[in-house]
Structure 1
Amino acid sequence: MSLWIAAAKIATALNVVLLVGLGYIWGRNYLTFKSKHTLGLLVFAAFLLLENALVLYYYLIDPDLSAWWHNESLVPMIVWQTQMAINIAQTAGLSFLLWITLD
């Protein structure tokens, strides 16, 4: 498996973990403060979690698409490089968001 493919999959899995953590924190804060701001952050985390979980499902589990994603001859390398860049940028952004949320 190519480094690009592995990086995209690992970044997506890490995004799911980060979003679960952020969702937990923001959900707890919403229950405490009942603020529209925390509700907005919680909804944001839920939608982004749904998107990342679906992508991870396609990468690893879906019987049709996972076979497609695992065959490097079917998916051009530029697609993997772009996916990896997007997923790692998202991981960096979510990591920063988690850091300032915990601060």
Structure 2
Amino acid sequence: MSLMLDAARVAAGLNVLLLLVMIGVWANTYREVRAPFTLASIVFAGFLLAENAVALYFYFNAPAMPTVAVQVMMILQILETAGIGVLAYVTLQ
């Protein structure tokens, strides 16, 4: 179970870093273009950043949980990392 929790921690940490990078890129773009979609992307990424920061805090201060709960949380966190990774790749192109 510790390995699964470690994987969820790494995924959440990576999500935080990727989201910070994307928010920075989108903030620069918004300053130049002032497009509402770019602002919405920044707000959306901000919410995802908050969710991942809370998840990361929880993963480091987690109470005893059933193994299946940790496994499901890890899978969801890794899927989220894959989605954010694709979005970051496209953003940085």
Query: Deviation at 1:59?
Result: 2.0
Q: Which runs of 4+ in 1 moved over 2 A?
A: none
Q: Give identity over the alignment, percent.
A: 41
After TM superposition, list the pairs within 5 Å mapping 1:6-85 onto structure 2: 6-60=6-60, 66=61, 68=63, 74-85=64-75
Question: CA offsets per residue over residues 60-103 of structure 1, 9 Å max, x none?
Answer: 2xxxxx151xxxxx211111111111100010001100111111
Give structure 2 stretches of 5+ with no counterpart: none
Question: RMSD over aligned Cα, in angstroms?
Answer: 1.2
Letter in 2 for 1:77: T
Match of 1:100 in 2: 90
> What is the CA–CA distance in structure 2 between the aligned matches of 1:67 and 1:95, rounded to whole Å?
26
Q: Could you say which structure has the larger radius of gyration?
A: 1
Match of 1:63 in 2: none
Task: Give the length in aligned residue pairs.
Answer: 93
> What is the CA–CA distance in structure 2 between the aligned matches of 1:55 and 1:7, rounded to whole Å?
12
Contact 2:23 2:45 in 1 (8 A): yes
> What is the CA–CA distance in structure 1 between the aligned matches of 2:62 and 2:73, rounded to whole Å?
17
Give structure 1 stretches of 5+ with no counterpart: 61-65, 69-73
Letter in 1 for 2:21: G
Name which structure has the greater RCO, CA cutoff 8 Å, separation 6+: 2
Query: Deviation at 1:56?
Result: 1.1
